[in-house]
Structure 1
Amino acid sequence: MNILNVVDVEATCWEGSPPPTQTSEIIEIGLTVVDLDAGVRTARHRILVRPRRSRVSAFCTELTGLTQAEVDTGVTFAEACRILAAEHRANQVPWASWGDYDRKQFTRQCQMTNTEYPFSRDHTNAKAVFAEAHGLRKRPGMAQALEIAGLPLEGRHHSGEDDAWNIAALVLHLRRKGAWLSASRP
């Protein structure tokens, strides 16, 4: 089986700059498992993460739908990384995200918290592959890419779980076009 984990994260955010002493932290990890050979999304997962160095702002709640009370029920970032590696084989399975934000946010937060990076080195920037496959000079956002591909936006935009599900649909669209390669891409 040719499995791919599609990952999308939501992080604490503010309308402007973060308040003093606060820094952007992952608060939700969405993961959709894709069977590339069968051309189907086989599972969807959501991990809520309790932030340690920031609070969920009103702006963040409006954007993501997540509240401070909800993320307070989540696991620690270190536990989320352990779950990704142990339950989703994230350190062994290729993975993709829309753009490089998710990969870079995990790298930053792992360094900041002394947590082992949970993913394999085999990462594909699905946004870059989509733009190349469609001959676009500018890389579109996920919602715009769904429109271009003629696919519906399922669920709430800026929900990690729903966005991972939608990005997985775009990966399968690219696979059908013959544009999705197994090798990692920038």
Structure 2
Amino acid sequence: MDDATRYLNVVDVEATCWSEEPPRGMASEIIEVGLTVVDLEAGTRVAKHSILVRPQHSTVSKFCTELTSLTPAQVAKGIGFAEACKLLAVVHASGIRRWASWGDYDRKQFERQCQATNTPYPFGASHVNAKAVFTEAYGLRKRPGMATALEIAALPLEGRHHRGADDAWNIAALVLNLRSRGRWPG
């Protein structure tokens, strides 16, 4: 197995959010990229990363802090979105490795934000919707959230739900569960 097929990047993003509609002139922006590297050959999670991203056109609301635990002061110390994308590409081989997320939200948020900021998209075309794979593998009618999927698979929720790094770590555990059942694609 070469690096591109042996390793999988599992990504989970947190973005600015509000309890109701965004304030006028604001749109959701990525504030954390959680990334867990999975060694598919060894069947292990080998690295866990949190990349804090400084929003340019929105603010971290009280609701967002309650949900994610990320404060305005924390994300203000983050890197710019373009720099985060470059880091994903250069350090984490995101354009070469397959990648997975829980659903399509993360992929679509990156696509929207890259287009809106004229930033090169950091990922290759090989994205796996782990939620869809899990739903089919377990014969479910509805696609479960990540925490519910962990319960179904009898796996613990490690860390804090709605923190990108911890959610990516937990999604990677679900990927490895699917792999052990012979249900992970590729």
Same fold (TM over 0.5): yes
User: Partner of 2:106 in structure 1?
Assistant: 102
Looking at structure 2, the residues matched to 157 and 77 of structure 1 have their Cα atoms a distance apart, in angstroms, of 23
Offset of residue 153 of structure 1:
0.1
One-letter code aligned to 1:43: A
Hey, what's the Cα distance between the residues in 2 that align with 1:64 and 1:115?
25
- Match of 1:175? 179
Matched, 1:52 2:84: no
Give the superposition deviation at 1:117.
0.1
Distance in structure 1 (CA, Å) of the matches to 2:141 and 2:184: 18
Q: Report the count of equivalent residues.
A: 182
1:22 maps onto 2:26 in alignment: yes
Structure 1 stretches lacking a partner, 5+ long: none
The whole-number CA distance in structure 2 between the counterparts of 1:103 and 1:83 is: 17
Per-residue CA distance 1:134-173 (angstroms, 9 max, x = gap): 0001000000000000000000000000000000000000
Is 1:62 the equivalent of 2:38?
A: no
Q: Which residue of 1 aligns with 2:119?
A: 115
Question: What amino acid is the match of 2:179?
Answer: R
User: Deviation digits for residues 35-82 of structure 1, max 9, x if unmatched?
Assistant: 011100000111000000100000000000000000000000000000
Written as runs of structure 1 = structure 2, the 5 A alignment for 1:1-186 is 1=1, 2-182=6-186
Runs of 4+ in 1 over 3 A off after TM superposition: none
Shift of residue 9, structure 1, vs aligned partner: 0.1
TM-score normalised by structure 2 residue count: 0.97
Unaligned runs of 5+ in 2: none
Q: TM-score, length-normalised on structure 1?
A: 0.97
Q: Give the superposition deviation at 1:107.
A: 0.1
1-structure distance, mates of 2:16, 2:185: 32
Deviations 1:14-39 (A, max 9, x none): 00000001110000000000001110
RMSD value over aligned CA atoms? 0.5
Deviation at 1:83, TM superposition (A): 0.1
Instruction: State the alpha-carbon separation in 2 of the partners of residues 134 and 23 from structure 1.
Output: 35
